[in-house]
Amino acid sequence: MAKIYIDPGHNHSGADTGAVGFGIKEQDVSVQIGVMLRNMLINSGQAVKMSRERITDTISQSLNGSLSARYNEANNWRADLFISIHCNAANTKAYGCETYHCTGSIKGAELAKAVQNHLVAETGRANRGVKAANYAVIKHTNMPAILVETAFIDNYDDNQFLASESGRKACAMAIYKGVCDYLGIGYAFSATTEEFKESEDEEMNKRITELEERIKALENPMVYNFIDKNTDKIAPDCNECLKHLVNIGVLKGKDEGLALTEDMIRIYITFYRAGVYGK
């Protein structure tokens, strides 16, 4: 069993808040991905500790306090691996995913490569590669450490990916598989991509159905059957009016009813009562 420290980047408030793009915040997305990753790793029998477990968590109101608290806790816990999760930001044009390790860390580079390979495969984001850097949270840790830049939150396409639950799951799955590869352990069946895709397909079908219903509602705001009880609420002689208009050919529709708004029906009733359509 490995001890894995997950660090969802940034804070809910204070000096160390993250990037923002198209209404979503880096500090929120990092936690959402981190929680999914935690559950996958625990399901695989690993021990996990997180710097932030809720979107509203703030470690420190200062930048230095925020950074030092993360690597100090990981060091004190004697974690085997340190994973910091982030969203990138640049000039709205940059896009893709990349993974950092501390300069000179051979094991960190191995972990970063394992995660980056899966990040590209699982997310479909552009491959920006594995890079070395001296970010505080991966420089001052006593264990192999990586910083994952999942996608660019200020790039519209990347942002929409991060805003979706399926996108965040893909990021978590990629990191999970990379960690498993690095540790030399198998993937837990209950955390496979296939199972997540099943739930995603169900969710997608549900959304498609809802969208189709909305479209139908816009095209046919209200469908009244000839003997629909709803029409009685508009006027006592509503059904009589509609039947008469159908019989004389003013209205045409299928057996299941006529697609009419309430305002349209009221106009027809007014003309009907005035004798415009005859008797």
pLDDT tens readout for residues 61-108:
999 999 999 999 999 999 999 999 999 999 999 999 999 999 999 999
Residue 24 shares a structural domain with residue 134: yes
Q: What is the pLDDT, as a whole number, of residue 250? A: 78
- In the annotation, is 149 catalytic? yes
Q: What is the pLDDT of residue 191?
A: 40
Q: Is the pLDDT of residue 150 over 80?
A: yes
Q: Which residues contact 172 (CB under 8 A, 6 or more apart)?
A: 33, 34, 36, 37, 40
- Specify whether 233 is located in the same domain as 191: no
For the domain that residue 83 is a member of, what is the CATH number?
A: 3.40.630.40
Residues 123 and 234 reside in one and the same domain: no
- pLDDT (tens digit, 9 = 90+) per residue, 195-221? 444 445 566 666 666 666 665 555 555
Residue 259 confidence (pLDDT) above 80: no
More confident residue, 96 or 236: 96
Number of Cβ atoms within 10 Å of the Cβ of 156: 12
Residue 40's pLDDT is what? Answer: 95
Q: Which of 176, 11, 27, 35 is nearest to 89 (CA)?
A: 27
Annotated catalytic residue: which of 26, 98, 122, 149? 149
- pLDDT tens profile 159-187: 999 999 999 999 999 999 999 999 999 99
Same domain, 161 and 38: yes
What would the mean pLDDT of 244-256 be, rounded to a whole number? 72
pLDDT of residue 226: 54
Number of structural domains, the chain? 2
pLDDT of residue 247 exceeding 90, the answer is no
Range of the domain at 251: 223-273
| Same domain assignment for residues 71 and 166 | yes
Report whether pLDDT(126) > 70.
Answer: yes
CA dist 58 → 7, 14, 31, 45, 210 (Å): 12, 8, 11, 28, 37
In a domain, 210, yes or no: no
Q: How far is CA 35 from CA 43, 129, 279, in A?
A: 12, 25, 70
pLDDT attached to residue 195: 45
Banded pLDDT at 24 (limits 50, 70, 90): very high
Look up residue 203 and give its two tokens.
Answer: 């969710």
Residue 132: strand pairing partners: 101
How confident is residue 230, by pLDDT bands cut at 50, 70 and 90? low
Lowest-confidence pick of 35-44, 72-81, 234-243, 254-263: 254-263
| 155 and 239 share one domain | no
217 within a domain of the structure (yes/no): no
50 within a domain of the structure (yes/no)? yes
Mean of the per-residue pLDDT values of the chain: 87
pLDDT of residue 194: 45
State the pLDDT at residue 261.
72
95 and 163 housed in the same domain: yes
Domain contains 234 = yes
CA distance 238 to 220: 19
What's the predicted TM-score (pTM) here?
0.69
Contact 17, 10 (CB under 8 A): yes
pLDDT at 188: 83
Share of the chain above pLDDT 90, in %: 66
- My answer on whether 130 and 242 are in the same domain is no
Nearest to 76 by CA among 127, 142, 14: 142
Q: Return the pLDDT at 129.
A: 98
**Domain co-membership, 64 together with 150:** yes
